[in-house]
Amino acid sequence: MSWENSLPLLIFLSSFAPGLVIFVLDEEQHTLRTVLNLFGAVAKLAMVGAMIVGLLEDKVYETRLPLLPGVDLVLRADPLSMLFITLSASLWMVTTLYAIGYLEHAPNRSRFFGFFSLCVSSTMGIALAGNPLTFLIFYEMLTICTYPLVVHRGTPQAMLGGRVYLIYTLTGGAVLLLAVVGLFVLAGPVEFTDGGALDAVAAGNADALRWLFLLFIGGLGVKAALVPLHGWLPRAMVAPAPVSALLHAVAVVKAGAFGIVRVIYDLYGVNLAHDLGVLDPLLIVACITVIVGSLFALNQDDLKKRLAYSTVSQVSYIIIGVATFGLLGSIGGLLHLVYQGIMKITLFFCAGNFAETLGIHKVSEMDGVGRRMPLTMAAFTIGAFGMIGAPPTVGFISKWFLGVGSLAAESGWVLAVLLTSSALNAAYFLPILHRGWFKPQQGEWPEEHSYGRLETHWMLLFPPAITGVLVILLGVFANMPTGLLQWVEILILREYRL
Amino acid sequence: MINASVLYALAGVVLFGMGVYAMIAYPHLLRKILGMNVMGVGVFMVFIAISYQGPEQRADPVPHALVITGIVVAVCATGLALALATQLHALTGSARIPADGEE
Amino acid sequence: MFFDAAFWLPLAIMAPLTTALLLFLLPRRSGLLTVIGAAATIATVFLATLLVIQNGAARHTLGGWGAPLGIDLTADGLTVLMLALTAIVGAAITLYAHGYFTHPVHDATARTRYANFWPLWFFLWAALNALFLSGDVFNLYVTLELVSFAAVALTALAGKPAVLAAAMRYLLVGLLGSLFYLMGVVFLYGGFGVLDIAALGAVVTATPALAAAAALITVGLAMKTALFPLHFWLPPAHANATAPVSALLSALVIKGSFYILLRVWLGVLYPLGETIAPYLLMALGAAALLWGSLQAIRQTRLKLLVAYSTVAQIGYLFLLMPLLLAERNNLVALAGVVCFMLAHATAKASAFLSAGAIQLATGDDRLASLRGLMQIMPAPVAAFAMAGVSLVALPPSGGFVAKWFMLDATLASGYWVVALVIVAGGLMAAVYIMRVLAPLFRQVETVEARRVEHVPLSMNLSAFGLAVLAILLSFTGVYVLEILAIGAPWVTEAGL
């Protein structure tokens, strides 16, 4: 196997192997565990970087192992997978740092970081999967590896949240399995291809393909938290903050959304999906999800739950983008895949900091928190403005494309949905900002810890600071050469076969 | 047209059925074990009956060999069953299998 | 001679049989004898396997007599897969048993009784190998009984009254089943005059004699395989036996009688493939899957839960019967069934072995007492979790490969209801496996209050090793399909 062809596997192994080693480490081998974690994260980032450079030079990175008759286990780098993998590799790095600080004195750290690494490995597998079966394998592996993280605290609520999580995701996985096998029976061993892979079988099988599309969306929609399949997400909030951050920004929810993107662009092909008429129903579901998620978020006093419903809403922006037939909307959707991750992870980091430093879990306890923890609150503010879609944050860019895209596709009502959603976003985020910055502190903090000169532990403070700055920088320099926007434009042109 | 061989085979089938009935219906282990032996005898009788190939020809030797093997197996089975039954009797004072839930 | 697979076939039976006899004679040398015996058996089995894979199916005429009068041993792809499976799982259980039966928690009388495990287990191994190698229907009867006797004796080894009753019931059901089977063999011989499977396959036609034989054989073997609703004897026997024996029963012994059923239907009874019989078996399989899973979900004891899981998973074996028989070259369906046997054997053995380790260490097998054990005994817990992944058939695991083949076969033939049953079975399995795993994650207030016995490395190693194997089987689908094609069971020419 040449260097190029083993690179995708190595990227997977760079977190998988440390994960396995971490399991057998003693609780007290703190340093070794940290070194392994960070080494894996850095190595992964370096390999992803090398891969991006290689892809620009038209190199092919593909690992292929025989798995089942006619179907290989395929890990392949293409522009879309690079989008997702760059996001998850970078955010993993940041989250690892955060998690080390967050769990400094918590029990069962070996178990936690072991599954944490496996979780990220599965995400890498999902990103690099070159055919539906490979995708399914890592998708299910992600389900399994995330469960121990969700129930990590072992409390009754955690167990309940974990159970609900498994019921939803395993059922979704079973539906996805049926879709994958059904497609295999119908079309043989197809692989993800730019512009779609099913043109050969499309003639005469339109109805079968529509049913399969329904199964695919049904299976993937659970993780992507499409209404009404979103019920697990708020319950899974019992997980420790770094897990929530990862779940919402790069791993589980994003895996579902990414899967939908893959199915539409690289399996069916956006043109075929448009011809089959399956995009419009999906668009409607996504719009409902956007509105319903925001409405639920309004009433949550629990900060993490409010963020969770916000995720339900925001992830469907991605779906709106890909379900809008037209270049601009598609660009907006893919941009949001990346941007939502960065913004949401910032918000969850901040929520974790409030909880860990001051014992604040509820919005109603946040009065005056901006004076006690100004940096964290600043990062939170940036994230919130991003979610609302205010310039110059990245959230503005993706919403702009989505809005213009919906007009271009002559579905103006989608624009109305987007505007309503922005108003709702403002309605549930601005009161938090108001409380934090402008209201005076009421009595003691629920459970305050002191960390010396800084407002909180440095390992907790750095990650949201970094991602918060990114939210602005990427927004301001969105159109820089070889930047994200250009990458996405090239990608979308290939998907539309233009 | 019923000749001796068919009659013999039918008798074997009847014995087999009686054995099945005994094994299922009687709770006492000894009766069950006897039922099993009656079943076995039924099978062997049918086997012997089908070895008959007409008045002019010799009987087929293969079933005889098989029946002898079968008898050996049946003896082993009876031995094992009796050993277990005595053991059960020694431990529980009863030679019946307790129904589910009584254990 | 040495490069002919046929040379090694009888040795694969003789090696464990000789070991068993020596173990009866020299119980004090059991440590050394078991190591040598297991090594010899594994070596012969693997030589035979490799040679069959390389040179094709093999046939050994014992004593040079040859069918129809003599006894032939045959080995095709399916045979060697089963032989190899038995060797691998058997080796792991042998290792485990060394730690388990000599553990200090057992008192002196128990340990004396447990010494009988060794000859009985090697006797069982010999009987299983003989069963897989048998080429004629009567010889299959004899081996079936031999397997049964050894299995019953092993079950009774635990010595408690409950287990003796379970063993007794197991024996009686087994005898009932095998006499039904024998009666079916009588009808086959009466109708067609031969006993060799290959020879029978060449001459059978759909006559009343064949139908009677099919009914008797199927009922008898379904009883021995514990197919719903004839499964009632299995849970008490499998749950009350000692852990290594439970693993042997669930992983291998059940597969023995199903193997005969598969062989006889594919090789001999296939003219009845278009009748209602295979559909009936499919329906019972579906019922077993759903009923067994429900029962497993309701259990409050770990080993009973695993035993009911076996009742459920036996259902998978029967689900594809119509596919196997309607298109006799449906290799994908056969691969599904065989991969399932491989995956189930490794995963279920691992589940029983790890459950046994937990029970041995805590003296308790209630699900409620599993709380917080993850920190205290991570190795058995991890093994059980990985075995669980395979039992639920989540990827990547051997169970998933089997499920993939099964779904592929059913959807390709339009049996989408069966596909739904397969998927539902997986989800129900997830529920009962999580009933075990979830308490392990529960927070415990007093970790140090749990005092558990030390679990020897050999036990952890074998349970864990089998679990890893159950996961790694996910990469074997292609090879299983290739090996199965070697002298596939429906090759009907007599004498190959």
Q: Which chain A residue has its CA at the smallest distance from C418's CA?
A: A178
3-class state of residue C75 by DSSP: strand
Query: How large is the C-alpha radius of gyration of chain A?
Result: 21
- Position C447 scores a pLDDT of 55
Helix runs in A224-302, H state only: 232-235, 241-249, 252-262, 270-276, 279-298
Helix runs in C102-196, H state only: 108-114, 117-133, 137-156, 161-192
Nearest-CA distance from C107 to chain B in Å?
Answer: 18
CB-based contact (8 Å) between C419 and chain A? yes
**Residue B17, CA distances (Å) to B38, B39, C220 in order:** 9, 7, 14
CB-based contact (8 Å) between A271 and chain C? no
Give the pLDDT mean for C139-153: 95
Q: Which chain C residue has its CA at the smallest distance from B87's CA?
A: C164
The one-character DSSP state at C492 is -
The Cα A65–Cα A63 span in angstroms is 7
pLDDT digits 0-9 by tens, C377-436: 889 999 999 999 999 999 889 999 999 999 999 999 889 999 999 999 999 999 999 999
Minimum-distance CB partner of B77 among C169, C175, C189? C175
Q: Which chains touch A (3 or more CB pairs under 8 A)?
A: C
Minimum-distance CB partner of C182 among B24, B43, B60? B43
The Cα C187–Cα A74 span in angstroms is 53
Residue A285 predicted with pLDDT over 80: yes
Beta strands A62-68 and C58-61, pairing class: unpaired
Are B84 and C195 a contacting pair at CB < 8 A? no
Residue A312 predicted with pLDDT over 60: yes
With contacts defined as CB-CB under 8 Å, which chain C residues touch A176? none
Q: Which two tokens stand for residue C219?
A: 């009922």
Residue C494 predicted with pLDDT over 60: no
Burial classification of residue C490, based on how many CB atoms lie within 10 Å of its CB (0-12 exposed, 13-18 middle, 19 or more buried): middle
Are C68 and B62 a contacting pair at CB < 8 A? yes
Better pLDDT: B102 or A413: A413
Question: Which helix (H) or strand (E) covers residue A62, if one does?
Answer: strand A62-68
- Position A297 scores a pLDDT of 92
Which of C104-108, C177-181, C436-440 ranks highest by mean pLDDT? Answer: C177-181
Q: Which of A168, A268, A245 is nearest to A467 (CA)?
A: A245
Q: What ipTM score was computed for the predicted complex, to two decimals?
A: 0.94
- Position A495 scores a pLDDT of 85
Query: How large is the C-alpha radius of gyration of chain B?
Result: 17
Q: Which chain C residue has its CA at the smallest distance from A136's CA?
A: C395
Q: Across chain C, what does the average pLDDT equal?
A: 90
Q: Quote the number of domains for chain B.
A: 1
Q: B75 falls in which pLDDT band (50, 70, 90)?
A: very high
- Position C23 scores a pLDDT of 93
- Are A43 and A15 in contact by the 8 Å Cβ rule? The answer is no
Give the pLDDT mean for A305-322: 92
Q: C445 falls in which pLDDT band (50, 70, 90)?
A: low
Residue C242, C-beta contacts closer than 8 angstroms, at least 6 positions apart: C100, C101, C114, C117, C157, C158, C356
Q: Which of A490, A398, A389, A384 is nearest to A437 (CA)?
A: A384
CB-based contact (8 Å) between A26 and chain C? no
Residue C478 predicted with pLDDT over 90: no
Give the pLDDT mean for A68-88: 89
Minimum-distance CB partner of C175 among B24, B36, B85? B36
pLDDT digits 0-9 by tens, A462-485: 999 999 999 988 888 887 777 788
Segments making up each domain of chain C, as ranges? 5-484
Give the pLDDT mean for A284-288: 94
Minimum-distance CB partner of C408 among A111, A141, A184? A184
In a domain, B100, yes or no: no
- Are C135 and C62 in contact by the 8 Å Cβ rule? The answer is no
With contacts defined as CB-CB under 8 Å, which chain C residues touch A132? none
Give the pLDDT mean for A120-130: 93
Cα dihedral: A428, A432, A437, A441 (round 10): 150
Minimum-distance CB partner of B23 among C149, C164, C176? C176
Are C161 and B88 a contacting pair at CB < 8 A? yes
CB-based contact (8 Å) between C45 and chain A? no
The Cα A45–Cα A24 span in angstroms is 25
Q: Which of A240, A234, A230 is nearest to A155 (CA)?
A: A240
Length of chain A in residues, anyone? 498
With contacts defined as CB-CB under 8 Å, which chain B residues touch C167? 84
Residue A5, C-beta contacts closer than 8 angstroms, at least 6 positions apart: A60, A61, A62, A63, A64
- Position A68 scores a pLDDT of 86
Q: State which residues form the domain around B38.
A: 4-92
- Position C2 scores a pLDDT of 75
Nearest-CA distance from A35 to chain C in Å?
Answer: 23
Give the pLDDT mean for C204-215: 93
Half-sphere exposure of C409 (CA within 13 A, CB side): 27
DSSP output for C460-490: HHHHHHHHHHHHHGGG-HHHHHHHHTTT-TT
The one-character DSSP state at C241 is S
- Position C63 scores a pLDDT of 81
- Are C203 and C268 in contact by the 8 Å Cβ rule? The answer is no
- Position C93 scores a pLDDT of 95
Of A433-437, A450-454, B23-27, least confident by mean pLDDT is A450-454
CB-based contact (8 Å) between C435 and chain A? no
Q: Across chain A, what does the average pLDDT equal?
A: 89
Q: A202 falls in which pLDDT band (50, 70, 90)?
A: confident
Q: Which of B80, B72, B57, B70 is nearest to B12 (CA)?
A: B70
- Position C495 scores a pLDDT of 31
The CATH number linked to B71 is 1.10.287.3510
- Position C490 scores a pLDDT of 53
With contacts defined as CB-CB under 8 Å, which chain A residues touch C404? 68, 133, 181
- DSSP-assigned beta bridge partners for residue A417: none
Q: Using the Cα atoms of residue A141, residue C314, residue C287 and residue B100 in order, give the sign of their dihedral.
A: negative
Better pLDDT: C445 or B67: B67
**Residue C201, CA distances (Å) to A445, A453, B17, C40 in order:** 83, 86, 29, 34
Q: Which two tokens stand for residue C413?
A: 């033939």
Nearest-CA distance from A170 to chain C in Å?
Answer: 7
3-class state of residue C453 by DSSP: coil
- Are C312 and C298 in contact by the 8 Å Cβ rule? The answer is no
- Position A1 scores a pLDDT of 59
Cα dihedral: A313, A315, A317, A322 (round 10): -150
pLDDT digits 0-9 by tens, C97-113: 999 998 888 888 888 88
The Cα C446–Cα C448 span in angstroms is 6
- DSSP-assigned beta bridge partners for residue C72: C61
CB-based contact (8 Å) between A218 and chain C? no
CA angle C342, C343, C349 (to 5 degrees): 95
Q: A386 falls in which pLDDT band (50, 70, 90)?
A: very high
Amino acid identity, position C123: F
Q: Which of C318, C370, C314, C379 is nearest to C350 (CA)?
A: C379
- Are A5 and A45 in contact by the 8 Å Cβ rule? The answer is no
The Cα A185–Cα A174 span in angstroms is 16
In a domain, B24, yes or no: yes
Give the pLDDT mean for C177-189: 95
CB-based contact (8 Å) between C442 and chain A? yes
Are B84 and C167 a contacting pair at CB < 8 A? yes
Task: Determine the straight-line distance between the first and last CA of chain C, rounded to whole angstroms.
Answer: 19
Nearest-CA distance from A54 to chain C in Å?
Answer: 30
- Are A264 and A323 in contact by the 8 Å Cβ rule? The answer is yes
With contacts defined as CB-CB under 8 Å, which chain A residues touch C481? 69
Minimum-distance CB partner of B50 among C68, C189, C236? C189
3-class state of residue A67 by DSSP: strand
Give the pLDDT mean for C7-25: 93
In the block, tokens 């399969």 appear at A212
pLDDT digits 0-9 by tens, C42-101: 999 999 999 999 988 888 888 888 766 778 899 999 999 999 999 999 999 999 999 999
Proportion of chain A above pLDDT 90, given as a percent: 48
Helix runs in C377-494, H state only: 378-392, 398-412, 416-441, 457-472, 477-484
Are A166 and C434 a contacting pair at CB < 8 A? yes
CB-based contact (8 Å) between C438 and chain A? yes
- Are C179 and C220 in contact by the 8 Å Cβ rule? The answer is yes
- Position B101 scores a pLDDT of 42
Amino acid identity, position A374: P
